[in-house]
Amino acid sequence: MAESGIRPMPVTFAIIVRALGQEGMAERILEMIGRMRDEVCRPDVFVYTALVKTMVRRGHMEACIRVWEEMGRDGVEPDTVAYATMVEGLCNAGIVEKAAKLFEGMRKKGLLVDRIVYASLVDAYVAAGRVGDGCRILKEMVDAGYCADLKTYNILIAGLCGIGREDKAHNMFQIVLQEELVPSSETVSQLLVCYADKGEMVNFFGLVDKLVELSLPALEFLADFLRLFACKDGRELKTLELFKTLRQKGYFSVNIYNILIENLLKIKERKKALLLFEEMKASDDCEPESCTYSLMIPCFVDEGNIEEACSCYNSMMKAEWIPSLSAYRSLVKGLCKIGEINAAVSLVPDCLGNVENGPMEFKYTLTVIEACRSKDPEKVMKVVVEMIELGYLIDELIFSAVIYGFCKYATSTRAREVFSVMRDRDIISEANFIVYEDMLNEHLKKVTADLVISGLKFFNLEPKLKWRSRID
């Protein structure tokens, strides 16, 4: 524009600085503001406010602070919107001291401090561990004629519980009820955690009974509480003991059972998880559902009970439920380890068809099987090498795919050739070579047995055959 002799307008600079603000480019912004001041006019409060809003929205607080300081040097007085935007941005960024100073500046200048500014400061103080200051701001907010929303009360209740002041947190809960706000799970979960941690079960069940009295979904709230309570290390078994007390009082659900099972499995307490699963199966009110079975399939696999894991999978298929990705992976791995290669391979396309963004090792399994159609071991090795280069593990499933593919489309000799190349290239050890060769031999026996059974079916002799070759 300068080369063409066209003088930029103020709006031109405003557009440019806003674009630079979106990227947080502080130096370029200050340079452009300087040019605007020298060539056209001093930026007004609207330019600065628009710039502040843009940078706060994008999270560029360091650059925003520099622009705010430049606004002061320019003698531009921020308006209510600029102050409110800046305080909220600083609070969200955890720069609470600077936010508090601006907050005080707003009040001294007689600017309107809205509820969002108060709530932002409460949140920032609690996040910084300064719960007392958060309570002080709440009082000032109420004195200014505002009503706090449930989110603000939840933040303060959590903060008070975090410093061991569950007495004050309970008082805050009472205020929530007095304000005719409907408590949420977040309102009571931290209080319940405090009571459970300190063994104050009278207060604990008093709060639970209050939830029932208020016609709130107490079981859902208890599930959220248990999830929160059990997530800290060392609480898993304490959670189980607490559940026994809850169950005696009639507070239990499928969701609660699932949370307990999940946390017990995290600490390898599989026996206790299995007992809960048996309880569910024997119950008329808490029968296992999709999540339960998805948790129990890896559990049974880890216990070496592949047959029961398959039973869980079959129950899910009967109910038209889709297993979790971890359940698919675990069951496939378990089937491979016991040599049930056909069953393992059949689960791969089933998983990829049902689960979004299925695992790459499953996709490579199908690629390996497709390469086996060529009857060329080198083509299979190219897939294996590609996997290694991309950092994927060559595990039992890939070896099972080699066995399955060549036994179906070529001969077992081709599979042995692939294993030999892998051994020679140090992809597998001599010991593993022997293991996978044994798997190949066992698979050949099963394939042969299946052919025999097919022939017996043809001649109506199958009922006379008592031996079964694989898991149902």
DSSP string, 129-185: T-HHHHHHHHHHHHHTTPPPPHHHHHHHHHHHHHTT-HHHHHHHHHHHHHTT----H
What is the mean predicted confidence (pLDDT) over 18-41? Answer: 58
**What's the rounded Cα separation, in Å, for the pair 44 and 114?**
24
Per the CB < 8 A criterion, the answer to whether 96 and 124 are in contact is yes
Picking from 88, 77, 76, the residue whose alpha carbon sits closest to that of residue 113 is: 88
**Residue 216, both tokens:** 């709130």
Picking from 394, 355, 415, the residue whose alpha carbon sits closest to that of residue 347 is: 355
| Amino acid in the structure at residue 304 | G
Confidence of residue 25 (pLDDT cuts 50, 70, 90): low
Q: What is the pLDDT of residue 65?
A: 86
Of the ranges 53-62, 156-165, 316-325, which one carries the lowest mean pLDDT score? 53-62
* % of residues, the chain, pLDDT over 70: 86
pTM assigned to the model: 0.80
Q: What is the pLDDT of residue 464?
A: 42
Confidence of residue 202 (pLDDT cuts 50, 70, 90): very high
pLDDT in tens, 80-107: 998 999 899 999 999 999 999 999 999 9
Quote the mean pLDDT of the chain.
87
Of the ranges 48-52, 179-183, 432-436, which one carries the lowest mean pLDDT score? 48-52
Where do the structural domains in the chain lie, given as residue ranges? 149-216, 359-472
Query: 377-389 and 396-409 are packed helices; what angle lies between their axes, rounded to 10 degrees?
Result: 160
Per the CB < 8 A criterion, the answer to whether 299 and 324 are in contact is no
Q: Which is higher by pLDDT, 35 or 375?
A: 375
Query: 469: buried, middle or exposed (CB in 10 Å: 19+, 13-18, 0-12)?
Result: middle
**What's the rounded Cα separation, in Å, for the pair 408 and 406?**
5
**Residue 251, both tokens:** 């507070």
Confidence of residue 427 (pLDDT cuts 50, 70, 90): very high
Confidence of residue 467 (pLDDT cuts 50, 70, 90): very low
Q: Is 410 helix (H, G, I), strand (E, B) or coil?
A: coil
What is the mean predicted confidence (pLDDT) over 392-402? Answer: 94
24: pLDDT strictly greater than 70: no
**What's the rounded Cα separation, in Å, for the pair 405 and 355?**
24
Q: What is the pLDDT of residue 445?
A: 85
What is the mean predicted confidence (pLDDT) over 395-413? Answer: 93
Picking from 212, 189, 192, the residue whose alpha carbon sits closest to that of residue 202 is: 192
Question: Largest Cα–Cα distance in the chain?
Answer: 102
